[in-house]
Amino acid sequence: MAQSLSGDTSRLSILAGAQAGVSEEDARILRGLRAGIEEAYEELIERYEQPVYGMVYRLLGNQSDASDVVQEVFLKVFRGVNSFREQSSLRTWIYRIAVNEAHNHRRWFARHCRHEVSMTDGRAEHGGSLEYAPDRGLSPFEQTLEGEHRTLIEHALTKINPAFQTAVVLRDIQNLSYEEIAEILQVSLGTVKSRILRGREALRCELTHRPDTGLAEAMA
Amino acid sequence: MNCRSAKRGHNCVDEIVRDGELSQFEAHQLECESCELQSSDLRAIRSALQMLPPASPPKDLRTRLRVTASQERRLLLEEDGSRLLRFCRRWKFRLNEMMRPFTIPATGGLASSFVLFSALAFTILSSTTGVAYEVPVLGAGGINANLVPVELRSAVVLSMSLDWNGRITNYVVRDGSGSFVGNPNRLESNNISLPEIPSVLAMAQPVSSDIRISLTPIVYRQ
């Protein structure tokens, strides 16, 4: 449930756990990358492959595009590690690159491939929902229902304004703090809050305006 | 608190509200059913988003990333701390990124210009081949087999045609009142002698095989 805060918005960062500069762990990885130590590269991939992929996939909604973008992101990280000034955390820096790359890719896609039609829909391409749906002891009916709900949400997420979508994905799916999101998107804290709120509102509209279902049914 | 200001209170679904705002918002919710419904909807959306399972990367992505890492590491070790090499590499990378969209148009442009220039070069070559002649006009003081039998009374105009080898095929000399049409077969050598006119060999390299020269004898000039 909600809890109140006293004081100005700068205190939000304390609650959210945002920190300026790199942690000791990040600094160790960065030193390793700059020295060309193989383990550092491996550790970076190990730590950030899944979260970066997850975020890019949610932003683009396509598995193969997300893979390409993630590879491009890591390439830029490897090449830009010497110019990283360590004024933000490593995670924030990588996420910023990922968000920018995803936006670039989306712009490129909108310009060049908007008339192309995919031979497979998103779910089929992802190898089916069972691949990433953990077995929580649900009955087949419940699993199907959960899959339907997930599809509704994912579909609605791809329909909203990209600026709002990015903010919502970073906050509600990646669980980043407001400060970190502001740093990644390079906008003010107020703008982040506004975008998240408007993104959720847009999602709500997208879900409730469906002719065959209401939000209560979708979320039940 | 009214519905408009309550909108800001929807941040409470995120557990981020200021002091006093929460109680005001909760009080408003008790009175306003639509705000209460909206707030519960937003909570439901947030929890649904948080419950989305993490997307698993495809199995080949790890391999691709390792290959990329290996290549980059090798390049880094090759640089061996050289700032110049790093600088060159960075700019090469940027240039490649920048020029990538222009690759196809530039290649097309280059190819088309090459084709057009080739066609043009062929035309230029064909029009200039074999037209580097020396104008075969000689001055003659005495009797000469090629001497044109005219008595010069004014300026003369010599017109002649040459073949591709520079041989005279036709010639005519006109002065103020009369003209002489020469027979090129009777010429002993490939030149024409005009009385009282000095040699004008190698005057020019005409661009046509039909030549027309206007000459003024020295006596008339004086």
B122-175: per-residue pLDDT in tens?
777 655 444 444 455 555 555 566 777 766 666 778 888 877 777 888 888 887
Which residues of chain B lie closer than 8 angstroms to A208, CB-CB?
41
Type of residue found at B167: R
CA separation for the pair A191, A168 (Å, rounded): 12
Tally of structural domains, chain A: 2
| Tokens (6 digits) for B134 | 């020396």
**Is B30 part of a structural domain of the chain?**
yes
Domain that holds residue A219: 138-220
pTM for this prediction: 0.59
Cβ contact, residue pair A74, B65, below 8 Å: yes
Among A92-106, A138-152, B59-73, whose mean pLDDT is lowest? A138-152
**Contact at CB, B13 and A2, closer than 8 angstroms:** yes
pLDDT at position A1, please? 38
Among the ranges given (A114-118, B46-50, B91-95, B138-142), the one the predictor scored with the smallest mean pLDDT: B138-142
| Residue A203 near residue A156, CB atoms below 8 Å | yes
The CATH number that applies at residue A153 is 1.10.10.10
The whole-angstrom separation of Cα B186 and Cα B183 is 6
| Average pLDDT taken over every residue of chain A | 78
- Among residues A139, A184, A137, A157, the alpha carbon closest in space to that of A59 is found at A157
**B111 and B154, same domain (yes or no):** no
Q: How far apart are CA A103 and CA A59, in angstroms?
A: 8
Å between B50 CA and nearest CA of chain A:
5
Q: Residues B122, B99: one domain? A: yes
Check if the beta carbon of residue A56 is closer than 8 Å to that of residue B55. no
How sure is the predictor about A62, in pLDDT bands with cuts at 50, 70 and 90?
Answer: confident
Q: A104 with A147, same domain?
A: no
A203 in Cβ contact with A58 (< 8 Å): no
Q: Read off the pLDDT band of A184 (50, 70, 90).
A: very high
The pLDDT tens digits for A129-176 are 444 555 556 677 777 777 787 888 888 888 889 999 999 999 989 889
Average pLDDT over residues B8-26: 64
What range defines the domain where residue B155 resides?
Answer: 137-221
3-state secondary structure of A39: helix
Boundary (domain end) residue, out of B101, B126, B151: B126
Alpha-carbon gap, residue B25 to A1, rounded angstroms = 13
pLDDT given at position A5: 37
How far does the CA of residue A88 sit from the closest CA of chain B (Å)?
A: 22
Pair of tokens at residue A90: 């490593």
pLDDT(A70) > 90 = yes
For residue A3, being part of any structural domain is answered with no
Residues B145 and B195 in one domain: yes
Asked if the ipTM is above 0.85, the reply is no
Strand runs (DSSP E) across B45-140, as ranges?
137-140
Count of structural domains, chain B: 3
Subunit contact A67:B62, Cβ cutoff 8 A: no
Q: Are residues A105 and A142 in the same domain?
A: no
Lowest mean pLDDT among B21-30, B46-55, B205-214: B205-214
- Residues A30 and B21 sit within 8 Å (Cβ to Cβ): no
A157 falls within a domain: yes
Looking at the structure, tell me whether residues A146 and A197 fall in a common domain: yes
In angstroms, what CA-CA distances link B114 with B105, B107, B124?
Answer: 14, 10, 15
Residues of A in contact with B61 (CB under 8 A): 49, 53, 67, 70-71
Pick from B144, B160, B161: nearest CA to B197: B144
**pLDDT: is B121 or B61 the higher one?**
B61
Do the domain assignments include residue B186? yes
Residue A122 within a domain: no
> Which tokens is A164 given?
């709002």
Rounded average pLDDT over B84-89: 80
Query: Strands B192-195, B17-18: parallel, antiparallel or unpaired by DSSP?
Result: unpaired
